[in-house]
Structure 1
Amino acid sequence: MTTPACYACAQEARFDTLPPRERVAFDQHWRVAHALNTGLPGWLVLLPRRHVTAVHDLTDTEAASLGTWQVKLSRALRGVTGCVKTYVVQFAEAEGFAHVHFHIVPRTADLPPEHRGPGVFRMLQLPEQQQVTADQADHLSRSLRAHLHD
């Protein structure tokens, strides 16, 4: 079901035509996309494929696979980016982005201290010339997909 003004639902409605960065991996319940407007390569977003605005509204089936997805994506990010750990965060508060989504963020060894922990969200506020390009996100998404299927 598509909900007006919901970016995730709008993307889901055109699932078959999405670029690699918008469908890194998926199953019947979840879709993985590379984050928009980030300066951090590999910042992923894990989204339920149906419209949900609160974690408590996930079905038992969706909830059962959530942890597995988070761990699989963290392992793939480690394998592809060499990150030392991943952050897993869920807020879903921004206008147009109330659809539940989990940020799976690679924390690299060289990430400056001011961008560690909650400061990592500053990496979503960088000027466009410092952001990961669509081509870079597509390339990284293909690498992650291949790693997930190994």
Structure 2
Amino acid sequence: YLLQASEKHLVLSSPVFKQMLCGLWKETTDLATEGFVRFEIKNWNLQPFLILLQVMHGRPAPKGLDVDTITDVALLADYYQCLEDFRRCMRGWLREAKKTLRPSHETYTKCLWVSWILRSATNFKDFGSLVVYFAEDLIEGEGLPFHPVVLG
């Protein structure tokens, strides 16, 4: 896929993009010589990445997302260090998603992680209880980058 994005929006929203586009990286040279940069997005799903770019560019965020997409957008926002731009959106998405959640350990673990990065104490407590309730064995992070203090 070929996506166009504003260098200024990316740099203002994310210190990671700022380092890539203004630092001593290959992307900086490409931008200066070619006027554009190619990023290889290997490990991200396209839809969450598009949502990330939408919000970074000040476009309206989608109204409702499923838990998997919310988690993927949160992972991207965490990776690109731009959580502040997404906190309000993610709180709204999580509030809407809670209405239709299918009970499962995996779903509640994802919601727990999103609650942790949003610093949402009430949601964190609620989802923490559900993760424990639905656990069939040792509680692990479902591959999410939980801080050791959460699962330790």
TM-score of the superposed pair, with normalisation by structure 2: 0.32
Q: Which has the larger radius of gyration?
A: 2
Higher relative helix content = 2
Q: Which has the higher strand share?
A: 1
Higher relative contact order (Cα pairs below 8 Å, separated by 6+ residues): 1
